[in-house]
Amino acid sequence: MAQWNKIRIERENGTAAEAQAPVIVSASRSTDIPAFYADWFFHRLKVGYSAWTNPFNGAQSFVSYQNTRFIVFWSKNPEPLLQHIDYLKERNIGCYIQFTLNDYETEGLERGVPPLAHRIDTFRRLVDTLGAGRVVWRFDPLILTDRITPETLLQKIEHIGNQLNGYAEKLVFSFADIALYKKVKANLERNRVNYSEWTVEQMDQFARQLSELNKRWGYQLATCGEKIDIEQYGIRHNRCVDDDLMIRFAHHDKALMDFLGVEIKTREFSLFGTDPLPQNALIINDNLYAIKRKDNRDKGQRPACGCIMSKDIGEYNTCPHQCEYCYANTSKEAALRNFARARETGWQSETITGR
């Protein structure tokens, strides 16, 4: 897990506390902050800090936003972010959105998300507001049940992919690995969902068929946290918290580039064209390229995860999307209780849960 510089902060109750001061914030793998807690988060951003409870030992700690330069948002309904984006621009804080846009409407696996057509419209509006590449399409997880086959999933992806063409640049997906996650397995069984695990042969065939389908769109295809190697189909291992995207969108931010160990260079032109670029150069535009001087990978993540270091400020058991396969909630009831408690505070609490 990434270790961040610590600073002293003054809490709203007048006491002092030590707080982590992350440069990169993840909001959040643990709950859907954009959909349900956007007002809370942006209030805390203005206050300057929030409190965070460790899911493993219950210890409370504090997160300062004094040094924050970039935020990666994760959401199944990031529409509420539209009213807050201008504030990020005022603060010169960069962002992009990991938008999980699945289609499990017929099967009722995501009962708390808006209708698919509404979410597709939200995706387009966010791209129009933020710009190309800043909204990443995720179909995640790809789950097999007695009602969903690999062919069904390809049809669902085709339906969405046709409507996002010209708006999305990338499609990130993962194969549901149910046995590996006790909460997922327990939730599916509690909710009487007759699931099945993917076989290696099914994953390989699916990847090949998706690659064929993608010839009409040209999306970048990538997997999230998958060990299987399917690069022969043009499908890469993804970095969801991605320093390449941060360089692309915030190369002007020297503080962020210094933290990432990135040097921004101007391309040299001569009568004979442009000079050759170094082998490890990342092209930003016609005039600029970047050289990464260090490995920013978060060693605390799963071995197959390529994400760079960030501080996640969400908490488990707080997302009321009511997804049948949820990995972040012990139960729907616990999440709904915590969400109701948070609303009662008027989003003024230091923590998401209001406790």
pLDDT digits over 313-344, tens only?
999 999 999 999 999 998 899 999 999 999 99
Distance in angstroms (rounded) separating the CA atoms of residues 231 and 136: 20
Using CA atoms, how far apart are residues 152 and 148, in angstroms rounded to an integer?
A: 6
Q: Could you read off the pLDDT of 196-224 as tens digits, one per residue? A: 999 999 999 999 999 999 999 999 999 99
pLDDT band, residue 272 (cuts 50/70/90): low
CA distance 272 to 278: 18
81 SS3 class: helix
Average pLDDT over residues 192-199: 95
Give tens-digit pLDDT for 115-155.
Answer: 999 999 999 999 999 999 999 999 999 999 999 999 999 99
> Is there a contact between 289 and 267 (Cβ–Cβ < 8 Å)?
yes
Tokens of 226: 């998958």
pTM for the full predicted model: 0.95
> Residue 130 region, left (φ>0) first, then alpha (ψ -120 to 50), else beta?
alpha
Residue whose entry in the numeric block shows the structure tokens 């909630």? 329
If pLDDT is split at 50, 70 and 90, which confidence band does 284 have?
Answer: very high
Q: Which residues of 221-250 are buried (b: 16+ CB within 10 A; e: fewer)?
A: bbbbbbeeebeeeebebbbbbbbebbbbbb
Which amino acid is it at 294? K
Task: Tell me which amino acid residue 152 is.
Answer: T
Instruction: Return the half-sphere exposure (C-beta side, CA atoms, 13 A cut-off) of residue 262.
Output: 25
* Residues 36-78 pLDDT 10s: 999 999 999 999 999 988 777 888 899 999 999 999 999 999 9
CA 188/CA 193 separation, integer angstroms: 5
SS (H, E, C) 5-16: CEEEEECCCCCE
Amino acid at 216: R
What end-to-end distance do the CA atoms of the chain give, in Å? 25
The mean pLDDT of 281-305, rounded to a whole number, is 92
How far is Cα 178 from Cα 162, in angstroms, rounded to an integer? 29
Average pLDDT, the chain: 94
In percent, how much of the chain has pLDDT > 90?
Answer: 84
Q: Which pLDDT belongs to residue 238?
A: 96
Find the mean pLDDT for residues 14-21. Answer: 97
- Please give the backbone phi and psi of residue 222, each rounded to the nearest 5 degrees, phi first: -155, 150
**285 has pLDDT over 90:** yes
**Is 221 in contact with 171 (CB distance < 8 Å)?**
yes
How far apart CA 355 and CA 347 sit, in angstroms, is: 11
pLDDT at 273: 64
Name beta bridge partners: 97: 73, 135
Selected residue with higher pLDDT from 120 and 277: 120
* pLDDT confidence bin for 271, thresholds 50/70/90: low
Query: Phi and psi for 63 in degrees, rounded to 5?
Result: -120, 120
262 vs 57: CA distance, rounded Å: 35
Q: Which has more confidence, 199 or 348?
A: 199
Can you read off the two tokens belonging to residue 78?
Answer: 């990031």
| Among 326, 352, 347, 354, CA closest to 112 | 326
The pLDDT of residue 1 is above 60: no
* pLDDT band at 2; cut points 50, 70, 90: low
Give dist(CA 343, CA 39) in Å, integer.
Answer: 10
- C-alpha angle 305-242-313 in degrees, rounded to nearest 5: 80
Give me the mean pLDDT over the 274-286 stretch.
87
Give the pLDDT confidence score for residue 210 in this predicted structure. Answer: 98
For residue 343, give every residue at least 6 positions away whose Cβ sits within 8 Å of its Cβ, in sequence order, or none. Answer: none
